[in-house]
Structures are given as structure tokens and as C-alpha cells.
């Protein structure tokens, strides 16, 4: 170990410490005759002066805040990561799960003698350790697990990665294309059977998640049959009702070869609103390997109305097509795009109106604004270079712009954390700061106190109080104002960054949803983001409580009871989040559920209720043939090797022989302030205490 002493002051400051100690000791013991007369023994006098000198030097030196810097060389073991597929397809692949676990533990113990072994299990996501290993995960995402591993260990000395799986993935991308940033070889343990088995299965069911009342929708089932040549089966779709079933349609089909594919299609009437549960099934064939994949459940939400949206523009603009595409991504809305000078029909026929750069000098739309006011139609204003600001300020009460002409500022959006009118996904919120600059009218902005701002404007590196996107509060006609143009840039950037436009679509959809929602004066509300949830997804609900002044509060405790179809209750208590409530109820089995939330405030009980459905996930039953070719390719391209479970112990010798699995020597530099060393205090107390005691004992003052 190499230890060095440092201070942040020049080295000649150290001389000042010795000088201070010398002056203090001399002045105390040699300058005054009284001290030399009291302590006649010159050796006692010199010894006491030396103690005083040492104590003062140490105190003065501590004022320089000295610190010790030590350097040590440590040998770091290479990390070996064992990743075990925890999906339900592995249960049949390993056969004797107890015996397989023993092999896995034996491999762990043999590797731990030389390496720092880390273990993970994965299905839809990665979990540290093998404590949760139960082979019951409903989906397999190998690529996501490897990507997470890259993020966790990219800068560490990873000697090897062991991946035990059957090679079947049903979510995410092909793991072969995940870049290996660890520089370590991959060794794969090939589980399962690659021999195709006699099987008839539904590979997927295509359907709309949302349809509208009195529409017709199509359900298509893709079917695959292996080694079933010459057999026949019947496909059937039924609706699962409360306590009964109703057959919607049946089709018989002949299987004409040993690798057969076909599709069955049914047209269904959406004649009842609500969440409707359907089952698509196939009659089994003698000798099938499994019949679990002969059935799939689907849930379809039938809405009783579609909102009509009028997008009224001053002139052609790229924003118009961007807004239309975002609106059309949500089937709850039907959009009509028109120019103000060519308006056809009556604005009273629409549920929501979007005014793009209106009113303007060319189109004052006086009658349109009067109709909106009379009918209290929810309205979303987009301001821009064509907007007549004086008329714009009179048309809506949320934002007033004192414009300085036709000039514009290039701005970006800054999310306001206190916004609570609706929730956005964290990925959407994080995107706002990365979006490109758009143009906002130049001028002074005034925001109404009866509003709430989602985004403020950022000009260059300066965060301003100028609003970019603002909403009216509940109580009057719903309004929103977007104080800029060139929204199309945001939508384009969203696609470039994420290969989709989910974030910008969500911003538009949530805005329309807020505008279209009727003012609800209920003091307690329980909300849910989705009414149909996959069984591998947690159930999350939030709630809001308002006082008599309609201010959001969460002082009292709120509870919620979820009830399944058989009447069993699952009680929960909401957690408090800022000024609202949130409940993460966890995972529920497939089925239909109702819930009731309760809270007592000022001696009065408030309730709200609703329903949701949990859809069964059968991804693991669709493909039962292991893909060892993928595992071998993954190992070979990453400098490793594929082995079978009975050869797992050979991995220890393979890793030992690998050039990548070698310890590394690291130089560890540690710094520590001397003033934090406890023994320094005792040294000072000892020096000064002994000097004081001896001096007093000998009659010194």
C-alpha cells in the first residue's frame, strides 16, 4: 500500500504550523521568568515546551484540512452470469425440475470457487437471483433480458454469460441481433425437445380491441397443424356470458398435409356495449401432444358512441395531417378536416372542435365562435403566425398574448410536475425535453388562474413562465390552448426516436379525452387507464378526492375492494401520491372483476365503482418445439458454445480455459481527511492533558 499526505494549501504553509508551535511554546515557557522559576528542572521545562509545541503544531496543521491518499492493488474476480429461462414452457422442457435445480446449484457452486457468480431468471422481464424460479412466467423475452444484462454489466469484468433456455421467445425481437457489449463469450444450455410433435394449435387471433355499438367486427384465427394429415377439426367462437355461453359461429376444416396452415374468420355483431368475452377453440385430434393451445380468449370493448371531431384550419399546414393521423390512431374519435373559408355543415354537429390558427385576419369565424359558446362545445386552440392575437384573446379566456408583430420564438416544451388533470406515461414525459424546437408567437403571455399548464416554453436554455400547452379547469366549458405551430416536427421526431408515434398520439388522445369528458362533480372518483389487462400485467388504479371547494386532497385513507366472478373479495388500501391516491393491486387470474372504492371525509362516506377484465395469456402454449439452432447461433457468434443439460458441468472447464475469464488487477485510490481520524483527537488530548497536569503539578500557572 502506498500512502501519501496532501493538503490543498502550498507546502510552505506547513512551516507556518511549526512556527506557530515554536512561538507559542517559547512564549509560554521561556519568555516569562515566572514559569522557569516555578519549574526549576530545565528538563521538565523543555519537555513541557515540547508537548505544547507538538500540540499546537498538530492543531494548526488540522486547520489546513490535510488528507491521506492511499493506493492499493486489488485482484478482481471475473463475473460469470447465469441466466435461467423461467417461462412456463421450461416446465415440460426440464422434466424433473428438482433434478435440474440440483444441476444448476452444482454448477453455481463449482463456478463460485473461482468466479464472482451472479444469477438471474427471466420471462417477460429479468429478476435477480433464483428465489423466484418457478417456471410459470407467461411470456419469454430473451432480447430484453440480454439488453438489461448489457446495461448492468457493461463496464465490469464479465468472464462469461450462461443462458439456459429452450430458445423459444414470444415477445421482443430475435436475441441473435442483440449486440454484445460485454466482450464476454456466451454459453447456452439447450433445454427442451426439438422434435416436432403432433399438434393442432391456434397461433394467433386477430381482432379489434375496441369496436362501436351496432358495428360489425371480424375475428380471424390463424391455425397450424403438425403431423395431422387427413384429420378434420372444427373451429368455434363462443361468447362467455355470466354463467352461460353463446355460440357465435362454427367452421369445419380438413387438414391436407403434415405441415398445414389455415385461417378461420367470423363476423360478429357489436350489439351490446361493455367488455365482451369471447373464446375461439378447436376440437382436439387423437394423439395430440397438448390441447392447451387449442383455445384462446379475447376481450373486446364495445363503446356506445364515437366522438366527432372538427379540425377547422385557417389555411393548409403540415400540422393538419399530423393532428389528423394522431386523432385517427384512437378509434374513439372520428375526424372531419375543413378549411374555415370552405366550412360545410354545422359546428353544432361535432363533439369537439380544434381551431388551427383561428381566428385570423382572413377568417374571423365570428359565427363559429358564437355557436361554440352557445353550445359549450369543448375547443382546442392552436396559435401560430397566422393567428390574429386580439381576436384570439377574446375567443378564449385561458391565455392572453400581447403580440409584438408577426415574429416568433423557437421554443421547446418543459413539463410541469404539478400538472394533475390527467396522467401521461413516463416515456412521454421524458420525450418532451428532447423534442425539436417549434414556433410560438412572440409577445407577453398572461395565463388565467382558472387553468393548469402542462408545458411551459423554453427559449434556448432559458425556462420561461410562458405557457405552451394549457387546459381549463373543471367547472365551465372545457378548453385547451397550444401556443405554437409545427406540431408535425414533434410527431416526426417521435417516429425517428422510437420507431412509433405512441408519445405524440398519447398527448393528442389524452387532450381530446379530457376535453370530451363531461364535468364530473363527484367528490370521490376511482380511475383506471385500461379496462382489459393481460394476466402478466399488474392491476393499477388511481383515485381522486375533492373537498367542498373542489380542491384535490388525500388526507383521509381510501380503500378499494376488488370482487371476482365467484364473489370473492380482495380488499386493498390506496397509497397517497402527491394529492391523489394510487393502488398497485398486483396480478390477477384471468376473468372479469368489479371494484368499489370508499373513503370517509368529514363524517360522510363517498363511493365509486367500476369493472375490468383480465385476459389470459397463452403465448407459451403456441410453440412447444425448442429452438436449439437459435441457441447455438447465439453462442457461436459470441465466442461460446452450446451444451445440453447433462453436460452442464463441462461449462466450468470451458470457462476456465477461456481467455476472457481472467482476473484483473485494479488500482484502488482512497482519500480520507485526517480530521476524521478518531485517534488524532486522543493524541491531542494526551499531549495537552499531560502538559497541563505536569505544569500544574509543578506549580506552573
Confidence of residue 456 (pLDDT cuts 50, 70, 90): very high
Contacts for 39 with CB less than 8 Å, ≥ 6 apart? 29, 45, 48, 695, 698, 699, 700
Domains of the chain, residue spans: 2-72+671-697, 78-195+625-662, 199-303, 307-516, 524-615
Question: Grid cell 449486440 — which residue?
Answer: 179
Listed residue (145, 505, 555, 202) closest to 324, CA to CA: 505
Q: Residues 78-195+625-662: name the CATH superfamily.
A: von Willebrand factor, type A domain (3.40.50.410)
How many separate helices (H) and strands (E) can be counted in the chain? 16, 36
Q: In this predicted structure, what is the pLDDT of residue 452?
A: 93
Counted residue by residue, the chain has a size of: 701
Return the CATH number of the domain spanning residue range 524-615: 2.60.40.1220
Contacts for 154 with CB less than 8 Å, ≥ 6 apart? 181, 182
Listed residue (166, 154, 86) closest to 126, CA to CA: 86
CATH 2.60.40.10 fits 199-303, yes or no: yes
CB 381 within 8 A of CB 479: yes
- Same topology for domains 78-195+625-662 and 307-516, yes or no? yes
pLDDT tens track for 267-300: 999 888 888 899 999 999 999 988 889 999 888 8
Q: Is the pLDDT of residue 116 over 80?
A: yes
pLDDT tens track for 474-527: 667 799 999 999 999 999 999 998 889 999 999 999 999 888 876 656 889 998
Listed residue (74, 75, 71) closest to 669, CA to CA: 71
CA-to-CA distance for 345 and 338, rounded, in angstroms? Answer: 10
Mean pLDDT, the chain, whole residue set: 88
Q: pLDDT higher for 559 or 51?
A: 559
CB 158 within 8 A of CB 182: yes
Sign of CA dihedral 127, 131, 135, 138: negative
Contacts for 460 with CB less than 8 Å, ≥ 6 apart? none
Q: Pairing state of beta strands 539-546 and 524-528?
A: antiparallel
Q: Which fold has domain 307-516?
A: Rossmann fold (3.40.50)
Confidence of residue 70 (pLDDT cuts 50, 70, 90): confident
165: cell is 433456455
Q: In this predicted structure, what is the pLDDT of residue 95?
A: 74
Q: In this predicted structure, what is the pLDDT of residue 700?
A: 60
Amino acid at each position: 500500500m502506498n500512502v501519501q499526505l496532501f493538503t490543498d494549501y502550498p507546502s510552505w504553509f506547513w512551516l507556518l504550523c511549526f512556527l506557530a508551535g515554536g512561538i507559542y511554546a517559547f512564549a509560554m515557557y521561556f519568555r516569562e521568568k515566572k514559569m522557569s522559576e516555578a519549574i526549576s528542572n530545565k528538563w521538565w521545562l523543555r519537555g513541557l515546551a515540547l508537548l505544547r509545541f507538538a500540540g499546537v503544531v498538530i492543531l494548526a496543521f488540522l486547520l489546513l484540512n490535510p488528507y491521506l491518499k492511499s493506493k492499493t492493488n486489488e485482484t478482481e474476480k471475473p463475473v460469470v452470469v447465469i441466466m435461467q429461462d423461467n417461462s412456463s414452457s421450461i416446465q415440460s422442457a426440464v422434466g424433473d425440475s428438482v433434478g435440474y435445480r440440483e444441476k444448476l446449484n452444482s454448477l453455481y457452486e463449482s463456478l463460485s470457487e473461482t468466479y464472482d457468480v451472479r444469477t438471474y431468471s427471466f420471462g417477460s422481464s429479468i429478476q435477480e437471483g433464483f428465489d423466484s424460479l418457478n417456471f410459470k412466467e407467461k411470456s419469454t423475452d430473451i432480447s430484453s433480458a440480454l439488453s438489461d444484462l448489457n446495461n448492468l454489466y457493461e463496464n465490469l469484468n464479465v468472464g462469461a454469460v450462461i443462458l439456459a433456455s429452450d430458445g423459444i421467445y414470444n415477445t421482443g425481437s430475435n436475441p441473435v441481433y442483440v449486440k454484445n457489449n460485454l466482450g464476454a463469450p456466451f454459453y447456452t444450455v439447450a433445454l427442451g425437445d426439438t422434435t416436432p410433435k403432433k399438434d393442432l394449435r391456434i397461433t394467433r387471433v386477430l381482432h379489434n380491441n375496441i369496436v362501436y355499438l351496432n358495428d360489425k367486427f371480424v375475428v380471424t384465427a390463424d391455425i397450424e397443424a403438425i403431423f395431422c394429415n387427413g384429420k378434420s377439426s372444427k373451429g368455434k367462437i363462443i361468447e362467455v356470458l355470466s354463467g352461460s355461453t353463446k355460440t357465435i359461429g362454427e367452421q369445419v376444416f380438413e387438414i391436407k398435409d403434415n405441415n398445414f396452415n389455415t385461417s378461420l374468420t367470423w363476423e360478429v355483431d357489436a350489439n351490446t356495449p361493455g367488455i365482451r368475452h369471447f373464446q375461439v377453440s378447436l376440437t382436439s385430434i387423437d394423439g395430440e401432444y397438448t390441447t392447451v393451445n387449442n383455445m384462446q380468449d379475447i376481450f373486446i370493448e364495445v363503446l356506445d358512441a364515437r366522438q366527432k371531431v372538427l379540425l377547422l384550419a385557417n389555411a393548409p399546414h403540415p400540422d393538419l395531417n399530423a393532428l389528423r393521423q394522431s386523432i385517427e390512431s384512437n378509434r374513439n374519435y372520428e375526424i372531419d378536416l375543413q378549411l374555415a373559408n370552405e366550412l360545410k355543415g354545422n359546428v353544432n354537429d361535432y363533439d369537439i372542435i380544434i381551431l388551427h390558427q383561428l381566428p385570423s385576419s382572413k377568417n374571423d369565424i365570428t359565427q363559429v365562435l358564437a355557436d361554440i359558446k352557445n353550445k359549450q362545445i369543448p375547443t382546442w386552440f392552436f396559435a401560430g403566425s397566422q393567428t390574429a392575437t386580439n381576436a384570439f384573446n377574446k375567443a378564449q379566456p385561458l391565455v392572453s398574448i400581447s403580440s409584438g408583430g408577426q415574429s416568433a420564438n423557437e421554443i421547446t416544451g418543459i413539463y410541469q410536475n404539478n400538472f394533475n388533470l390527467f396522467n401521461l406515461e413516463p416515456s412521454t414525459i421524458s420525450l418532451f425535453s428532447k423534442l425539436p424546437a417549434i414556433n410560438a408567437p412572440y409577445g407577453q403571455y398572461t395565463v388565467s388562474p382558472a387553468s393548469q399548464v402542462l408545458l411551459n416554453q423554453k427559449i434556448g436554455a432559458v425556462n420561461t413562465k410562458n405557457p405552451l400547452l394549457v387546459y381549463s379547469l373543471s367547472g365551465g366549458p372545457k378548453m385547451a390552448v397550444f401556443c405554437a405551430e409545427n406540431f408535425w416536427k414533434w410527431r416526426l421526431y417521435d417516429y425517428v426516436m422510437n420507431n412509433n408515434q405512441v408519445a405524440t398520439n398519447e398527448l393528442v388522445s389524452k387532450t381530446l379525452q379530457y376535453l370530451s369528458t363531461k364535468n364530473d362533480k363527484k367528490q370521490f372518483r376511482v380511475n383506471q387507464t385500461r379496462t382489459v389487462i393481460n394476466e402478466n400485467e399488474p392491476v393499477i388504479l388511481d383515485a381522486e378526492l375533492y373537498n367542498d371547494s373542489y380542491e384535490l386532497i388525500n388526507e383521509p385513507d381510501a380503500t378499494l375492494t376488488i370482487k371476482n366472478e365467484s364473489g370473492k373479495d380482495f380488499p386493498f388500501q390506496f397509497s397517497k401520491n402527491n394529492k391523489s391516491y394510487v393502488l398497485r393491486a398486483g396480478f390477477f387470474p384471468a376473468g372479469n372483476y368489479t371494484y368499489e372504492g370508499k373513503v370517509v371525509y368529514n363524517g360522510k362516506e363517498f363511493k365509486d365503482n367500476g369493472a375490468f377484465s383480465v385476459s389470459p395469456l397463452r403465448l407459451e402454449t403456441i410453440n412447444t418445439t425448442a429452438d436449439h439452432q437459435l441457441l447455438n447461433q447465439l453462442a457461436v457468434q459470441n465466442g461460446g458454445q452450446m451444451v445440453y443439460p447433462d453436460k452442464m458441468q463441462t461449462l466450468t472447464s470451458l470457462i476456465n480455459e477461456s481467455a476472457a475469464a481472467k482476473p484483473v488487477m485494479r488500482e484502488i485510490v482512497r482519500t480520507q481527511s485526517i480530521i476524521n481520524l478518531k485517534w488524532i483527537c486522543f493524541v491531542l488530548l494526551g499531549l495537552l492533558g499531560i502538559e497541563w497536569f505536569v505544569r500544574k503539578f509543578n506549580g506552573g500557572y
